Amino acid sequence: MNERASAPTFEELFGRAPEVHATAPGRVNLMGEHTDYNDGYVLPTAIPQRTRVDLARRDDGTAQVWSADVESGPTPSRYVLGEEARGRGFLDYVQGVTRALREQGIVLPGFDARIASEVPVGAGLSSSAALSVALLRALRLAFGLPLDDVRIALLGQRAENDLVGAPVGVMDPMASSLATSGSALFLDTRSLAYEIVPIPAAIELVVIDSGVPHSHATGSYRARRAECARACALLGVASLRDLTLADLDRGAPALPELLLRRARHVLTENARVLAVVAALRSGDIAALPPLFAASHASMRDDFEVSVPAVDRLVALADAEPDVVGARLTGGGFGGAVVILVQRGRGGAVAARVAGAYEASSGVPPRVLVPVA
C-alpha cells in the first residue's frame, strides 16, 4: 500500500500485532453500466489497486478502527457493536458491515482494525466495495465465519444499502469479491450466475480518473434508479430485464420521453454486455470499438450520467490510433474512463491522453492503470 511515511502501524495504534490480513481490489467495469439494479448483465474486472485490512480480535463488544486515508491522528475511532448508527463518515461502512452480520445472526465479540487503501475515492472504481469486502475477508479469517465469496459480496451490498444509505447494486461487491486482473467477470445480477472470461492477450486496459469526483449517495444516482422503477411501473413489469427492445417500442406511448430514454439505455447496454462477452470469448477485437462507442453515447445521451470532462477524456482517447475503445466507467457524474489499447501501448497512450486532457482542461487527471 502506498501510504504516507508517518502513518502509524497497527502495533503503534493498538499496542499489539495484527492477527490477520486481508485485501480486496477495486474494479473497473468494461461494459454494463446501470444495469445491475435492473437485474441485468455486467462485465467488470479487477484493477491492481487494493484495500488492505489488518485486524485482531477483541472480547469487550467494541470495535476500534483506524483508516490511513481519513484519520489525521493516532487515535482510532470506536463504537459499540450492536449500537451502530449512521453519521460517522468512513466508519459508517465498517458499522454497516457489523450490523449486516448481526442481522444474519453473526454476533462478533469485538475487533481492532487498521484500513489502508490504494483505490481512489470518487473515481467510480468501487472504493467502498473494496473496503467492505476486505473487512469481511479479515473478519472471516479472524473468527472462522462461514461466509463464501458470494455471501461476502451480498453482505457488502447490504452494508452500503442499509446503514450507509447508498443504493448501490450488487455488481461492485461481487466484482471486488470475485473478479481477477486479466479476466472479466460476466455476471447475471438476477441469478448471480457468473463466468470468468479471459481478456485477449492482444489488448490491455488503461484507466484514467478525470478528477471529477462522484458519489453513489448523492441525488443524481438515486434519481436514475427511481426513473427506472417508474418506467417499470408504467410498463407493468417487475424489472427492465423483463423487456426486449420490441416490447419497449410497443410500450413507448405509455412512457414520457425521458423514461423511454432511460429504459432504452438499460436494454441496449444489456445487449452490449452480451456482445462484448462473445467478442472476448472468440478474440474478435474488431467487434469492440463500436460497442464501446455506443455505450458511452448511450450513457451520455439516453441515461445522461456523463459530464463534459469525461466526454473530453473519451474523445481524446478515441483519437489515438492504438485505442480499441473508450467509455465512461462506473455510476457516472464524474469518475473515470476505461480504455482498451493494443498490447504494449498502454503506458504511452495513457501519458498522451492525460497530458492532452490537462492541457485543455487545466485539471490534472490520474492514470490508475497501468500502474507507474
Residues 136 and 183 grouped into a single domain: yes
| CATH at 236 | 3.30.70.890
Region 20-26 average pLDDT: 97
pLDDT in the model for residue 217: 43
Residues 164 and 281 grouped into a single domain: no
Q: Considering the domain boundaries, does residue 271 fall inside one?
A: yes
Q: Given a cut of 90, is residue 7 above it in pLDDT?
A: no
Name the H helices within 165-218.
171-178
Distance of CA 145 to the CA centre of its chain: 25
Residues 166 and 267 grouped into a single domain: no
Q: How open is the CA angle 55-57-63, to the nearest 5 degrees?
A: 80
Residues 278 and 326 grouped into a single domain: yes
pLDDT in the model for residue 219: 63
Contact 18, 114 (CB under 8 A): yes
| CATH at 190 | 3.30.230.10
Residues 125 and 243 grouped into a single domain: no
Helices (H) then strands (E): counts for the chain: 11, 11
Q: Considering the domain boundaries, does residue 170 fall inside one?
A: yes
Least Cα distance to 291 among 33, 118, 114 occurs for 33
Q: Considering the domain boundaries, does residue 147 fall inside one?
A: yes
| % residues pLDDT > 70 (the chain) | 96
- Domain's final residue, options 142, 162, 196: 196
Q: What total of structural domains would you count in the chain?
A: 2
Residues 161 and 207 grouped into a single domain: no
Q: Considering the domain boundaries, does residue 93 fall inside one?
A: yes
Say how many residues make up the chain: 372
Q: Considering the domain boundaries, does residue 324 fall inside one?
A: yes
pLDDT in the model for residue 296: 98
Q: What is the pLDDT of residues 134-152, one digit of tens each?
A: 999 999 999 999 999 999 9
- Domain's final residue, options 196, 214, 230: 196
Residues 288 and 314 grouped into a single domain: yes
Q: Given a cut of 80, is residue 3 above it in pLDDT?
A: no
Domain span at residue 29 reads: 10-196
- 371 band by pLDDT with thresholds 50, 70 and 90: confident
Residues 235 and 286 grouped into a single domain: yes
Q: Given a cut of 80, is residue 255 above it in pLDDT?
A: yes
Contact 27, 134 (CB under 8 A): no
CA dihedral over 91, 97, 100, 106, signed as positive or negative: negative
Least Cα distance to 358 among 324, 312, 322, 315 occurs for 312
Residue 172 annotated among the catalytic residues of the structure: yes
Q: What is the mean pLDDT of the chain?
A: 93
| Residue with the three cell numbers 480486496 | 24
Share of the chain residues as helix, strand and coil, in percent rounded to the nearest 5: 45, 20, 35
Q: Considering the domain boundaries, does residue 2 fall inside one?
A: no
- Give the DSSP H/E element, type plus range, for residue 323: strand 323-329
- Domain's final residue, options 162, 196, 230: 196
Q: How open is the CA angle 204-353-323, to the nearest 5 degrees?
A: 40
Residues 84 and 150 grouped into a single domain: yes
Pick the most confident of 205-214, 218-227, 247-256, 321-330. Answer: 321-330
Q: What is the DSSP string of 146-162?
A: ---HHHHHHHHHHHIII
Q: What is the pLDDT of residues 61-87, one digit of tens each?
A: 999 999 998 765 788 999 999 999 999
Distances (CA, A) of 176 to 180, 181, 217, 315: 9, 11, 19, 29
| % residues pLDDT > 90 (the chain) | 83
Q: Given a cut of 50, is residue 187 above it in pLDDT?
A: yes
Region 47-69 average pLDDT: 95
Q: Which three cell numbers stand for residue 211?
A: 478528477
pLDDT in the model for residue 167: 80
Pick the most confident of 132-141, 241-250, 332-341. Answer: 132-141
- CB under 8 Å to 18, separation ≥6 — which residues? 10, 54, 55, 56, 112, 114
Q: What is the pLDDT of residues 146-178, one digit of tens each?
A: 999 999 999 999 999 999 988 888 999 999 999
Q: Which three cell numbers stand for residue 352?
A: 498522451
Region 31-51 average pLDDT: 95
Q: Given a cut of 90, is residue 1 above it in pLDDT?
A: no
Q: Considering the domain boundaries, does residue 5 fall inside one?
A: no
Q: Considering the domain boundaries, does residue 338 fall inside one?
A: yes
pLDDT in the model for residue 330: 85
Residues 169 and 249 grouped into a single domain: no
Distances (CA, A) of 272 to 277, 279, 296: 8, 10, 11
Q: Given a cut of 90, is residue 294 above it in pLDDT?
A: yes
pLDDT in the model for residue 372: 72
Residues 170 and 212 grouped into a single domain: no
Residues 106 and 163 grouped into a single domain: yes
Q: What is the pLDDT of residues 214-233, one digit of tens each?
A: 654 456 888 999 999 999 99
Q: Which of 172, 209, 302, 318 is catalytic?
A: 172
Q: What is the pLDDT of residues 98-118, one digit of tens each?
A: 999 999 999 999 999 999 999
